[in-house]
Copies of this chain bind each other. A is one copy, B any other.
Amino acid sequence: MKKDKVSIPVVRRLPRYYRYLSELMRNQILKTSSSELSTKMGLTASQIRQDFNCFGGFGQQGYGYNVELLHDEIGVILGLNDLKNIVIVGAGNLGSALAKHIDFGKRGFNLTGIFDVDPNIIGKKINGMEVKDFSLITECFRRNPPNVAVLTVPRSVAKQTAEQLIALGVKGFWNFSNAEITIPGIYFENVHLGDSLMTLSYRITNHKEDEII
């Protein structure tokens, strides 16, 4: 039975399952079980079964899971087969690195443009894609507007940039700007790299690994 409501912790675990299953596939492992997955992932087997039940369950009691089938079904749930148009706005250090480093096609997106406002950056090619003038974005996407934007602009201009993009039809942001923006009906996936680094600082400074894991 599929549940309509899926909690955010469950949703956040799905990419992890997907990643582990991809690894099993690379190692040519055909079958797995919730107890095997639980050892690898530091979750309880019952939690894993519960998670999978949110989406209708994928296995038979006592038989385990077919790795490739489970991998592909989770991919469908994550929407990875249904490519959504994405643009990168802000082609500075981080924006260009993401353009080169991230395999958008494998993560459910089709990179259709890279934009900046800096005349020194406009016209440059990143992975064969020319950086375009942000002021021309409406024109560029008259017919086929992006669903999502990577927001790699400075915090000070993040909100106004987001609003311009929303006016264009953008529904979601992969937000690296460190600005906390809340706009009803719009999805913000915020990445705070500094938070992760400060967590590491805490762990190294306090040496409490055994206690906090």
Which residues of A from 59 to 99 have beta carbons under 8 Å from B?
77-80, 82, 84, 92-94, 96-98
Which of A112-120, A133-141, A157-165, A198-206 lies at the interface with chain B? A198-206
Q: How far is the CA of A97 from the CA of B95 in the complex (A)?
A: 9
A79 in contact with B187 given A6-B212, A201-B84 (CB within 8 Å): no
A15 and B199 contact, CB distance less than 8 A: yes
Q: How far is the CB of A92 from chain B (nearest CB, A)?
A: 8
A102 in contact with B193 given A93-B97, A172-B200, A206-B79 (CB within 8 Å): yes
Q: Does A58 contact B (CB under 8 A)?
A: no
Secondary structure class of chain A's binding surface, majority of residues: helix
A12 in contact with B187 given A19-B194, A102-B193 (CB within 8 Å): no
Q: Does A189 contact B (CB under 8 A)?
A: yes
- Excluding A78-B201, A187-B204, 16 further A-B contacts by CB distance (< 8 Å) are A8-B213, A19-B194, A19-B195, A23-B180, A79-B206, A93-B100, A93-B101, A98-B193, A108-B197, A147-B204, A148-B200, A171-B204, A174-B196, A187-B200, A189-B196, A189-B203
